[in-house]
Structure 1
Amino acid sequence: MTAIGAPRERAPKLPRAFWALWVCQLVNRLGSFVQPFLVLYLTQDRHLSPGTAGAVAAAVGAGSVVSQLVGGWLSDRIGRRRTMLIGFLGTAAALILLGSAGSLEMIAVTAFTVGLLGDLFRPAVQATVADLLDPRERVRAYGLLFWAINLGFSVSTVSAGVLASVGYSLLFWINAATSVVAALVIWRMVPETRPVLDEGPRRSLLPVALRDTTFVLMILIQIGYATIYFQGYSTLPLAMAADGLPSATYGLVIALNGVVIVVVQPFVGRRLAAFDRPRLLAGSMLLVGLGFGIGAVVHSWWGYGLSVVVWTIGEIGFAAVIGAVFADLAPVDLRGGYLGLAGSMSFGLGSVIGPLIGTNALEHLGATATWLACAVLGVVLFLAQLGMSPALHARANAAGERDPDFRRVEA
């Protein structure tokens, strides 16, 4: 049997349905105007206090944590295609309601709904890619989706600022329109790919997942990774401010993250597919930890810029391979649920734990200790991930053999 992740002389063409998903990711991110500017809209246009605006933004985050879990469960129960359509069309409606909500209670409810529906499509997209492609092609495919997300987001953050000067309501309507366009692409070009058992009822997700020791350990490792990663959006701006650097400088430095991804990822995507997946994942997490660790010895804009570039390179490797690794771990009949649970637990919890730990460490221990702790955690995750390699290789080899035992639902 050919080893998973072995180099190929010529990469095969990806199917039309994959490129439709790629377009959806790009269009969806091109119109992602509301969330980055939500706090400004609430404080400047609706005249809410910063604390209240922050609570509303937290409601969006709370919805997002639940969203991927629900999206994964739905994609296994009612199908990938229906889940994506519900997510995109529901998000469009929720955005319009949020933009027109009058009372604070309605704003909070619609904000949570935007978060709940906004990420519903993610596990369905990841599961569809795993359904469509040979395990050896998934790294390249997930890397291309990651690139589309960052390309769209890079453009949207610039254009949103211009549109906001015209009126915040325009952001809500255009964001909703792009969600509708994404739904139309899914409706016209993406077939249903959900595998179904030839016989017997579907299993429940949690009893299977919680007994899967390899899967649970991988989630714990990814929570550690997310804890480091989210320092870039919580602790980093505070550390730069403490060094006397203005907020505009932080904006330019963190923009390097998107620039590096957009420029570098297309050239390394196929090469990353040739690497051993567990080792690439381990090395990527180490690089992210060491990248943040650079913050312990720098105090200038270019030093922090170097830090961002280093951990972004690690992020590229991580993002390309992590979806493929979890797809290999997932039972075919629970693929959507596994991917949704992985996303919800890993980055959902990491997005809460990371900022809390990082900002408190910065306040009580100082910047040097905080950034050194990120580097140490990166080393720990590197060693833990390497220790998982035998189990991941065994599951990857099994993943290449089990799909013939299932049949696909016709479009």
Structure 2
Amino acid sequence: MTATSTQAPATQGIEPWSPRARPRPSSLVWALTATHFVSRAGGLARSFLVLYLTQERGLSPTTAGAVAAAVGVGDIGSQLLGGWLGDRIGRRHTMLVGFLGTAVALVALGSAETMAAICAAAVGVGLTAELFRPVGSAAVADLPAQERIRAFGLLFWAANLGFTVSAVAAGVLVRQGYGILFWVNSAASVLAALIVWRHVPETRPPTPTVTRRAVLPVLVRDPVMLAMAAIHVVYFTMFLQTFSTLPLVMAGDGYGPGTYGAVLALNGIVIVVVQPVAVRLLDGRDTASVLAVSMLLVGIGGGLGAVVQSGAGHAGSILVWTLGQIGVSVMFGAAFADLAPADLRGRYMGVASATWSVGAVLGPLLGTVLLDHAGRTALWVACSATGLALFAAQRAVAPALRRRSSAAADDARPTDAARPARTNRPGVPA
């Protein structure tokens, strides 16, 4: 039963609640899936932002990098702001603000003539483009616990399918000029807003104003949440070497951008094909164990970069870390959703999403410094060692995480009085 449904009459014959029940995705989940796909498939401009700024606007690489970094720093604020707004004005309204704000900011960025205007528009894109991520996760977290893993997995799959479409479409459309990328990206954001407006209901649990809490005092007294956030910051810092230092390593081996693009396309294809199967296989598995093994796989896959130099070797290493990436992504949202109090779900999911953004800032900085001063072998040995450390850290936090997950499942379980009686008719999903 979704968070927006009402209890069906007894004559409809709903099946009793079962912890092993596997309900079909609700209309809410399908609508969120559509917004994730559309927003990612239309997200053309950011991938070519540095090229646009240097080739069309004539900025230096350093200045263009600073503008791109401004967007990245804005992402961190966007995750936290999105979580806060989701708990204050609701999930649906925050998504609408984010998508419509992104459309305006992208048009402004593509039209800006002065450096001040470019920087202001870049900050605007950063602050609005990711507002939907924490509130979309909070909307899924509002669902019963037994539905979350499949729902989060579907969103992850749709986002990666959209990214694959975006990569192909951008390469074709950019031949018509960079301007078209901003307009298509903006139109995709408007389309995503329309999907939200027509098909996404509000799921925020009602909370009386007098009982609203600030998130910071709760967070500082929640060691499990703090530990999980710290683990994932380190994980994303390690994982994002695949998008920052890996292309430099492959260039050192004599491979051009086309080869790097091909091995990244392999990552997207594996996710699209394997991830739906992984959701079925991992549903019901111990969250902490899956996260631990998956982070170890990402570290091992990165570590293989120290010993491979052929294109096939790099492709093999990508297959290994992609399997780990899938495992983390399947469990990521559900793990943090189990930790979040009902009245703070948006802000907790905002903190969880911000771990990616922090890793996206730290990863390129730390990785390029290590590669430049110590070499590729030291970089990939560090990745393997980090994977082992993350495995140990996730295993250490596992008992506490299991207790919190069990408590969340107990909270979601209806009481005996609330469970509808079995009838002779087949069960009807709520």
Q: Is 1:387 aligned to 2:396, yes or no?
A: yes
Task: Output the CA distance in 1 between the equivalents of 2:264 and 2:29.
Answer: 30
8 Å contact from structure 1 (residues 93, 176) kept in 2? yes
Q: Is 1:144 aligned to 2:157, yes or no?
A: no
Give the drift of 1:38.
0.8
Q: Residue 381 of structure 2 is aligned with which of 372, 390, 396? A: 372
8 Å contact from structure 1 (residues 7, 273) kept in 2? no
Task: Output the CA distance in 1 between the equivalents of 2:167 and 2:209.
Answer: 48
Which amino acid is the alignment partner of residue 389 of structure 2? V
User: Once structures 1 and 2 are overlaid, which stretch shifts more, 396-405 or 82-91?
Assistant: 396-405
Give the drift of 1:14.
1.3
Query: TM-score, normalising length from structure 2?
Result: 0.90
Which amino acid is the alignment partner of residue 124 of structure 2? T
Q: Residue 184 of structure 2 is aligned with which of 151, 168, 174? A: 174
Specify the SS of the correspondent of 1:182.
Answer: helix
Give the drift of 1:196.
2.3
Task: Output the CA distance in 1 between the equivalents of 2:187 and 2:396.
Answer: 46
Q: Deviations over 1:175-199 (max 9, x none)?
A: 1111111111111111111012367
Q: Is 1:328 aligned to 2:350, yes or no?
A: no
User: Once structures 1 and 2 are overlaid, which stretch shifts more, 65-74 or 346-355?
Assistant: 346-355
Q: Is 1:45 aligned to 2:56, yes or no?
A: yes
Task: Output the CA distance in 1 between the equivalents of 2:27 and 2:389.
Answer: 41
Task: Report 1:192-341 matches (<5 A).
Answer: 192-197=202-207, 200-341=210-351
Task: Output the CA distance in 1 between the equivalents of 2:331 and 2:26.
Answer: 19
Give the drift of 1:403.
5.2
Task: Output the CA distance in 2 between the equivalents of 1:17 and 1:57.
Answer: 33
User: Once structures 1 and 2 are overlaid, which stretch shifts more, 112-121 or 270-279?
Assistant: 270-279
Structure 2 residue aligned with 1:68:
79
8 Å contact from structure 1 (residues 140, 272) kept in 2? no
Specify the SS of the correspondent of 2:146.
Answer: helix
Specify the SS of the correspondent of 1:240.
Answer: helix
Task: Output the CA distance in 2 between the equivalents of 1:129 and 1:231.
Answer: 29
Q: Residue 21 of structure 1 is aligned with which of 32, 40, 59? A: 32
Task: Output the CA distance in 1 between the equivalents of 2:192 and 2:134.
Answer: 16
8 Å contact from structure 1 (residues 69, 337) kept in 2? yes
8 Å contact from structure 1 (residues 221, 385) kept in 2? yes
Q: Deviations over 1:40-78 (max 9, x none)?
A: 111122122211111111111111111000000000011
Give the drift of 1:119.
0.2
Task: Report 1:117-128 matches (<5 A).
Answer: 117-128=128-139
User: Once structures 1 and 2 are overlaid, which stretch shifts more, 36-45 or 266-275?
Assistant: 266-275
Give the drift of 1:400.
2.1
Structure 2 unaligned regions, length at least 5: 1-17, 415-430
Structure 2 residue aligned with 1:108:
119
Structure 2 residue aligned with 1:408:
none
Task: Output the CA distance in 2 between the equivalents of 1:107 and 1:363.
Answer: 31
The Cα RMSD (Å) is: 1.6
Task: Output the CA distance in 2 between the equivalents of 1:403 and 1:109.
Answer: 44
Task: Output the CA distance in 2 between the equivalents of 1:150 and 1:387.
Answer: 31
Q: Residue 401 of structure 1 is aligned with which of 410, 417, 424? A: 410
User: Once structures 1 and 2 are overlaid, which stretch shifts more, 224-233 or 250-259?
Assistant: 250-259
Task: Output the CA distance in 2 between the equivalents of 1:127 and 1:229.
Answer: 24
Which amino acid is the alignment partner of residue 336 of structure 1? G
Task: Output the CA distance in 2 between the equivalents of 1:200 and 1:402.
Answer: 23
8 Å contact from structure 2 (residues 103, 186) kept in 1? yes
Q: Deviations over 1:270-301 (max 9, x none)?
A: 21113111100111101000110111111111
Task: Output the CA distance in 1 between the equivalents of 2:256 and 2:34.
Answer: 36
8 Å contact from structure 1 (residues 332, 403) kept in 2? no
8 Å contact from structure 2 (residues 145, 412) kept in 1? no
Which amino acid is the alignment partner of residue 41 of structure 2? L
8 Å contact from structure 2 (residues 94, 135) kept in 1? yes
Task: Output the CA distance in 1 between the equivalents of 2:82 and 2:109.
Answer: 21
Structure index of larger Rg? 2
Task: Output the CA distance in 2 between the equivalents of 1:404 and 1:78.
Answer: 28
8 Å contact from structure 1 (residues 136, 273) kept in 2? no
Give the drift of 1:11.
2.4
Task: Report 1:350-369 matches (<5 A).
Answer: 350-369=359-378
Aligned length: 397
Query: TM-score, normalising length from structure 1?
Result: 0.94
Give the drift of 1:248.
2.0
Task: Output the CA distance in 2 between the equivalents of 1:23 and 1:349.
Answer: 27
8 Å contact from structure 1 (residues 224, 350) kept in 2? yes
Task: Output the CA distance in 2 between the equivalents of 1:130 and 1:7.
Answer: 17
Give the drift of 1:211.
1.7
Structure 1 residue aligned with 2:4:
none
Q: Is 1:87 aligned to 2:98, yes or no?
A: yes
Give the drift of 1:7.
8.4
Task: Output the CA distance in 2 between the equivalents of 1:402 and 1:203.
Answer: 20
Q: Is 1:187 aligned to 2:197, yes or no?
A: yes
Specify the SS of the correspondent of 1:315.
Answer: helix
Task: Output the CA distance in 2 between the equivalents of 1:99 and 1:361.
Answer: 35
